[in-house]
């Protein structure tokens, strides 16, 4: 039954996020940066698929399994299917794979939709986001803690703008003339339509 649900989800929204480990790790770097002043930022996602330590423990997998690419792929797939059954939405399952279901449940519906849409845009066009390459600790012969520390220099700098009632991208462009309409559309996943309460990432 789970495989049928996953197959239907893939037909509807393309490949699940676990087929894009670089996007997962990149989104987690951005998330770490946004949460840098909160205890949440202390979580160290494991392996090439950025698996949460609690997710692996839930299924009884060892930490070593999260580091092996084949086993980690299987675990990421299993976790994604669990999230898909929980949320009944492949885009939200993708988001839960990045930040965890607890954080997804804490989000307001509009915020959840905004983040999920942005993630879908990045998945379809990785140039819209940050793609991080996973290097096992010590594999480069450099600092073994290199993987544990997010590369903050690689994170794009942006500010958040909450769309007000009556706003349009053109009106926002008038408030922020330093940005082109193309940049504002890119911040909105390449779309011109916006809605009140939506959070846009505006590049600095």
**What pTM did the predictor assign?**
0.58
Q: Exposure of 185 by Cβ count < 10 A (0-12 exposed, 13-18 middle, 19+ buried)?
A: middle
pLDDT of the residue at 204: 61
So what's the pLDDT on residue 146? 44
Tell me what pLDDT residue 5 has: 47
Of the candidates 96, 123, 165, the residue with the CA atom closest to the CA atom of residue 26:
123
31 and 45 Cβ atoms separated by less than 8 Å: no
pLDDT tens-digit map of 123-138:
888 777 777 777 665 4
Q: Tens digits of per-residue pLDDT, 135-192?
A: 665 454 444 434 444 454 555 556 777 888 988 888 887 887 777 888 778 777 777 7
CATH among 3.10.350.10, 3.40.50.300, 3.30.1370.60, 3.40.1190.20 for 157-204: 3.10.350.10
* Token pair in block for residue 168: 């349009």
Residue 44 above 60 pLDDT?
yes
Query: Which residues, in sequence order, are bridge partners of residue 162?
Result: 199
**Proportion of the chain in helix, strand, coil states, percent, rounded to 5:** 55, 5, 40
Rounded to the nearest 10 degrees, what angle do helices 109-124 and 21-34 cross at? Answer: 140
Per-residue burial over 101-136, b = 16 or more CB atoms within 10 Å of its CB, e = otherwise: bebbeebeeeebbbbbbbbbbbbeeeebbbbbebee
């Amino acid at each position: 039954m789970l495989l049928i649900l996953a197959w239907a989800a893939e037909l509807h929204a393309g490949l699940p996020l676990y087929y894009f480990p670089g996007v997962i790790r990149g989104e987690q770097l951005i998330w770490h940066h946004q949460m840098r002043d909160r205890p949440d930022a202390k979580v160290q996602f494991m392996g090439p698929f950025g698996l949460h330590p609690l997710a692996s423990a839930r299924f009884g997998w060892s930490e070593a399994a999260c580091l092996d690419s084949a086993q980690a792929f299987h675990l990421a797939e299993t976790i994604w299917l669990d999230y898909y059954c929980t949320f009944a939405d492949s885009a939200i399952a993708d988001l839960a794979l990045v930040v965890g279901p607890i954080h997804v449940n804490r989000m307001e519906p509009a915020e959840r939709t905004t983040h999920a849409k942005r993630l879908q845009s990045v998945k379809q066009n990785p140039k819209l986001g940050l793609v991080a390459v996973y290097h096992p600790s010590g594999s480069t012969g450099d600092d073994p803690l290199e993987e544990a520390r997010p590369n903050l220099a690689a994170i794009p700098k942006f500010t958040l703008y909450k769309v007000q009632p009556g706003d349009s991208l053109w009106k926002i462009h008038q408030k922020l003339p330093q940005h082109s309409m193309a940049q504002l559309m890119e911040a909105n996943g390449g779309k011109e339509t916006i809605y009140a309460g939506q959070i846009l990432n505006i590049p600095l």
